[in-house]
Chains A and B, each alone.
Chain A
Amino acid sequence: MIRTTVGGRAMKVIESKGVHYRELNREIRRLVAAGEDRLLLRGVNGQRYIGAGLRGTARLEIEGTAGNNLGAMMNGLSIYVHGNVQDGAGNTMSGGEIVVRGSAGDITGYAMRGGKILIQGNAGWRVGIHMKSREDQQAVLLIGGKAGDFLGEYMAGGTIVVLGLDIPLQQEREGANPLIGNYLASGMHGGTIYIRGRIPAWQIRGQVQSELTTPEESPQLRSWIEHFAAGLNLDCSALSREIFTYLTPQGARPYAHLYDHSA
């Protein structure tokens, strides 16, 4: 175990290269329980469940590719990844923050019920599937690049924002919005999705209504973009006049008549 100083603060370093995920997570849990508030995991490559189920205010920094289910079911930590994350980051997390400098895999934010995930690059398929919110807390997923099919599938609450930084948008009528795939918001029945640009009807599934807004008009959207820019130290001011599509479910029970004969 070494101590290093990053940004003037002492940090414990865990050399993770070749360490099995069980051993690595045992060590992380031990150090967090002992009151360490900053850990640096060097040489991570595919280890699963990092930070899973942990509570508290510690900060984990990860160098490398974090494995499946990073921060699953965690409540309160802040995880910063200098690299990509594989599938299922933030699975069922309740609180805290995951910030990813690279890209994220499929089912990122799966059933998350609180906390925030910030991804500078792209996100995979079925991202934000079954996200939730509760009275005092809502899950937030902010994506700097683009996302695959089924974004916000079965979404029950919380917020997803797709910015598409540096991705040009063609404004041709009925053309696909390149920041998302097909079947956007299939089965969505709660929460809010903001996607930069216009979206043709065929890319959206389910009983959702779409409206247009801009960060200038919408203080809520603006605050999420500012949060994203601050968390990743980026300048997103150029987005302020961009058009965003804003999706919400139609009414409180959009699928009440799904199994009616007339439907």
Chain B
Amino acid sequence: MVERRDDYHQCYEGKIRIPSGCAVAGFINKTGERVNGGTVAEMMALMHERSNGLGAGYAAYGIYPEYRRAYAFHLILADHRTREEVEAILARNFRITEEHEIPVRRTGRYKKAPLLWRYFCDPLRLDRDGALDELLLATTMRINRLAPRASVMSCGQDLGVFKGVGYPEEIAEFYRIDQYRGYSWIGHGRFPTNTPGWWGGAHPFSLGEIAVVHNGELSSYGTNKSVLENFGYEMSLRTDTEVMAYAIHYLRRQNMSWPLVAKVLAPPHWAELERMAEPERELAAALRRIYGGLLMNGPFSIIVAFHGGLMALNDRLKLRSLVAGTSGTDLYLASEEAAIRQVCPRAEEVWPLPGGEALICCAEEESACHVA
């Protein structure tokens, strides 16, 4: 494994540069009805040209109804020795109720794919409110310190991330995405510009209850990173989107609503603030004063999956495309309109998302059953 680590070390941020963009897609059924991953994979496949084969992935909510209360740790591991190390870290704070290799098709370019393991866990002891979020955070950071030998794909309840190096259609086939049924899905095809294409660096990035896919690049990475490091987040995955996932995780830990999270990530410009009426102006100004370090600068379009919903957001200047479409109780999101038309030819409404305005969609029934 030593050679492999050296390979990764050769391509740190700034030492590799490949031009161009990415693709994102999302789907949610508002009644909580579950669909298989074939739909989002087909959306991604239509946008093939937006990726370059250096990373792709999917996340879904609602895929483990029989383990709904368990924390599903999805891991990328170099080998079985690393798995034992990771298991020891997990066992400090979690009781592992079930574990197995994630079923994959190890054919073609994936004959030498890393070990992909899934643990269903229950927390051992929780003595106060919010302790669980801290536990998931600390455990994930501890495991990610082993990167690139080990990294956590996801660790939420009823949530799973499946990602790796390849085109979106290859990764869908590899993980047999069509075998999973979820009420919300997000997908990503990577075209890395500044950072290496490696398994842990593929999207979605996930921590706790959130998973995020991102098209763009965050020029505020350094600022965001230094803020998040004060709160126990460690950037070990060598790509900008990691800060986006952690910033959202941090803001949600402050019990912030999704519309406010969006206002921190993509706040109105100061000139717009001056034209706002009270009390909106005071709220927007306070968010900028307190959370200015989590403002995401640079071009981005993101789709965030969370328990019971999706949030889509463009940067304030709308430097990336993101289109939404609806059909009945289904909501589709994609970098290109054609991806929506491909799986939903009779979409009732299709519209581009404006810059800095979040689209938040919740599945009423599914969120209700999670609260219960």
Contacts and interface: CB of A to CB of B under 8 A. Distances in A.
Contact of B355 (A46, A86, A105, A149): A149
B354 A64 contact: no
B63 interface: no
Contacts of A246: none
B318 A105 contact: no
A122 B37 CA distance: 32
B331 to A, nearest CB: 18
A48 B338 CA distance: 11
Interface string A80-96: 00001011000000000
A106 interface: yes
A64 B355 CA distance: 26
Contacts of A67: 336, 338
B259 interface: no
29 contacts: A45-B46, A45-B341, A46-B46, A46-B47, A46-B338, A46-B339, A64-B341, A65-B338, A65-B341, A67-B338, A68-B336, A84-B350, A86-B336, A86-B337, A86-B338, A87-B321, A105-B321, A105-B337, A106-B321, A125-B318, A125-B352, A148-B318, A148-B352, A148-B354, A149-B317, A149-B318, A149-B355, A182-B272, A202-B271
Contacts, number: 52
A105 B352 contact: yes
Contacts of A105: 321, 337, 352
Interface in B275-322: 275, 317-318, 321
B50 to A, nearest CB: 9
A114 interface: no
B341 A46 contact: yes
10 pairs of A and B residues whose beta carbons are closest in the complex: A46-B338, A125-B318, A45-B338, A65-B338, A65-B337, A65-B341, A45-B341, A124-B352, A87-B321, A46-B336
Contacts of B342: 45-46
A21 B46 CA distance: 11
Contacts of A124: 321, 352
**Which of B49, B271, B342, B350 has the most A CB atoms < 10 Å from its CB?**
B49
Contacts of A65: 337-338, 341
If over half of A's interface residues share one DSSP class (helix, strand or loop), that class is named, otherwise mixed; here it is loop
A62 B46 CA distance: 18
A169 B271 CA distance: 24
B168 to A, nearest CB: 15
Contact of B352 (A21, A68, A106, A182): A106
Given A48-B49, A106-B352, A124-B321, 13 more contacts: A21-B49, A46-B46, A46-B338, A65-B337, A67-B336, A84-B337, A86-B338, A105-B352, A125-B352, A125-B355, A148-B318, A149-B317, A202-B271
A86 B338 CA distance: 8
Interface of B: 46-47, 49, 271-272, 275, 317-318, 321, 336-339, 341-342, 350, 352, 354-355
Contacts of B339: 46
A16 to B, nearest CB: 12
A151 B318 CA distance: 13
Interface in A119-134: 124-126
Interface string A122-162: 00111000000000000000000000111000000000000
A46 B352 CA distance: 15
A48 B337 CA distance: 12
A87 B335 CA distance: 10
Contacts of B46: 45-46
A148 B350 CA distance: 16
Nearest to B339: A46
Contacts of B350: 84
A106 B317 CA distance: 12
B355 to A, nearest CB: 6
Contacts of B338: 45-46, 65, 67, 86
A48 B21 CA distance: 15
Contacts of A149: 317-318, 355
Contacts of A68: 336
Contacts of B275: 202
Nearest to B46: A46
Nearest to A47: B338
A106 B318 contact: yes
